[in-house]
Amino acid sequence: MYNLDSTAPIDPAADPFPELTGELSPSPAVTARRGLYVPLRLKFVLVLTLAAAWMGFSVWLSQSWLGELSQVTGFAVALMVIAFIAYVPGFMNAFLIGSILSDRRPSRREFAVYPDLCVLVACYNEAENIDDTLLSLSLQDYVGQVEVVVIDDGSTDDSLAIAQAAAARLSRPGMRIRVLAQPRNQGKSAALNRGFAETRQGLVLTVDGDSYLRTDALRKIVQRYLSDPVGTVAVAGAVLVRNSRDNWLTRAQEWDYFHGIAAVKRMQSMYHGTLVAQGAFSLYERQALAEVGGWPECVGEDIVVSWALLATGARIGYCEDACLFTKVPAKVGQFARQRQRWSRGLMEAFARHGRLLFAPRMSTLFIWWNLLFLPLDLVYTLAFLPGLVLALFGYYWIAGLMTLLVLPLAMLWNVVIFSVQTRMFKRQDLQVRRNVSGFLFYSIGYTMLLQPVCVLGYAAELLRLRKTWGTK
């Protein structure tokens, strides 16, 4: 889809970098967007009303479908099935469309001075990738001091030796690279916490060991952090797919990252509550991380630490044009393990920070949104997929004409986010690659693989099965 171009504690009540003052004028895009100002809370209410109205229309339109299915399953079961096949997804799509179309975030500013950074690279069996990751970090155009710390978590391949050689070769003035070796494999959170304990910079970034960053990625994510509203303690970067040409599965994931994940993060950050500052590429304030105890020992350490930060009342942002390209799973088994881990991480987050369901802030909607993923995945797996099979034999109780009414809104959502993402790419001289086959599978068959896998992840967490790191 795209071509690659190539500390002291911080007082949370104060500006953490008071010496940094915005320089240069806003971009022309900012000036062009000035006009009628709609306060964010009013915008939230308007978009919420629009989405609720669409859901109400869906309820009215589905009365005959509900009546027919009730004769087969009973009213309660029919209502639950239709609600999570049509009503809830329709509400979510409508809210996404309204939010993306009304998003007018402030532009990143340039600064005269940039703070020092430490970049933590947790590494486990990344012999094929770690050299590239460190090379991309060494090529960054960031003008502040950067310390890159690779924490090898007991790799059984040559990752440690390759990282040490790369550190010696690529270190330069302004970019120090060093390598720490864990005595044995202890998990990603332990690796990150060790790197955190052995650094002192006020801003901490995490980067996965199988990634490649655009040369301006560090500069842009720091600019977004410094330009965002007061109270921002973390910023998620834009993670995109590097190995999309491998096969049909990676081609579909390219669209998932470019469309689905990017759209959700844009929406959540607009309302001050990005729910996951993903471990693959995110920025954090050191003091904020220290206050929540660093990364917790669990499989979803990034979502759990993000929710811990949100529980303090802090804001987490998103930088849509600080781009990192990562290698996604190319095998179904690897993909299944990754997404099961994400599902288990979501359940861990609810177990530790379920009180966020009652926090008085706009982003609380997205906590409830995530709570609905479990019934959404269950109904899709246990009702809709069998309904498709029944439809092949002429029984249209679950999958039929009424389910097709969900498609126009889904198509509109795809058009909207594709337009927004394409404009972002063009501004960075990135080219959107033709990937029609990947989009067709992403649109039609991807959820048939994804949602049953998520259900298995929920079951694994409920049964307390063994937790492992990674998809290797």
Asked whether residue 382 is assigned to any structural domain, the reply reads no
246 is a domain residue: yes
Written as tens digits, the pLDDT of the chain (472 aa) is 444 333 333 333 333 333 333 333 333 333 344 457 789 999 999 999 999 999 999 899 889 899 999 999 999 999 999 999 989 998 999 999 999 999 888 888 999 899 999 999 999 999 999 999 999 999 999 999 999 999 999 999 999 999 999 999 999 999 999 999 999 999 999 999 999 999 999 999 999 999 999 999 999 999 999 999 999 999 999 999 999 999 999 999 999 998 889 999 999 999 999 999 999 999 999 999 999 999 999 999 999 999 999 999 999 999 999 999 999 999 999 999 999 999 999 999 999 999 999 999 999 999 999 999 999 999 999 999 999 999 888 888 888 777 776 667 777 878 888 888 888 888 888 777 788 888 889 888 899 999 999 999 999 998 888 776 555 4
Strand order in the sheet with 203-207: 175-181, 146-152, 117-123, 203-207, 281-285, 232-241, 315-326, 211-213
| 392 token code pair | 């092949």
Residue 16's pLDDT is 36
Residue 356 lies in a domain: no
Q: Please report, for the chain, how many H helices and E strands are present, in that order.
A: 20, 10
Are 171 and 177 spatial neighbours (Cβ–Cβ below 8 Å)?
yes
**Which tokens belong to 288?**
């904020």
Residue 301 covered by a domain = yes
Residue 302 lies inside a defined structural domain of this protein: yes
Which residues are CB-contacts of 231 (< 8 A; sequence separation ≥ 6)?
A: 272, 313, 314, 315
Q: Using CA atoms, how far apart are residues 309 and 344, in angstroms rounded to an integer? A: 19
**Does 388 map to a domain?**
no
Question: Tokens standing for 202?
Answer: 């006020």
Residue 465 confidence (pLDDT): 82
Is the four-CA dihedral 156, 157, 161, 163 of positive or negative sign? negative
Flag whether 462 is in a domain: no
Cβ atoms of 220 and 134 within 8 Å: the answer is: no
What's residue 377's pLDDT?
94
Are β-strands 117-123 and 146-152 bridged in parallel, bridged antiparallel, or unpaired?
parallel
Q: Which two tokens stand for residue 191?
A: 């690796």
Task: Indicate which CATH number applies to the domain containing 270.
Answer: 3.90.550.10
Task: Please answer whether residues 83 and 112 qualify as being in contact, where contact means their C-beta atoms are separated by less than 8 angstroms.
Answer: no
| Number of domains into which the chain is organized | 1
Distances (CA, A) of 122 to 189, 209, 211, 268, 279: 9, 6, 11, 26, 9
Cβ-proximal residues to 447 (8 Å cutoff; 6+ apart), any chain: 380
Within a domain: residue 1?
Answer: no
pLDDT of the residue at 35: 58
User: What is the model's pLDDT at position 407?
Assistant: 66
Domain carrying residue 127: 110-332
Q: Residue 219 has which token pair?
A: 């500069």
d(CA 458, CA 377) in angstroms, rounded, equals 10
Enumerate residues 6+ apart whose C-beta is below 8 A from 114: 20, 142, 143, 144, 219, 222
